Amino acid sequence: MLFSDMIALLIVYLYVIVIFILAEKVLKSKPEVFRKFLHIMVGNMIFAMPFFSDSWIMLLFITLPVTVVLFFLTEY
């Protein structure tokens, strides 16, 4: 993994954190809009793909951790 990959990972993680905080503060009273906003904005992470040297980096360090965290945050 290159240094540029680490910088790209940091930027993507910061982007996701900012989106969650922004949505929580602004859209908490509108759950349907909140959910759609999060899906659209987090789905934009695919545009970060060209900044990584290998596609497996995005899979292992972004997609997998986000999936695990969301699994544990989901109420059943």
Total domains in the fold of the chain: 1
**What token pair was written down for 41?**
């904005």
**With a threshold of 0.95, does the pTM exceed it?**
no
Domain that holds residue 47: 3-73
For 21-38, what is the mean pLDDT? 82
For 42-62, what is the mean pLDDT? 81
Query: At 41, is the pLDDT very low, low, confident or very high (cuts 50, 70, 90)?
Result: confident
Q: For the CA atoms of 12, 17, 20, 26, what is the dihedral angle to 10 degrees? A: -110
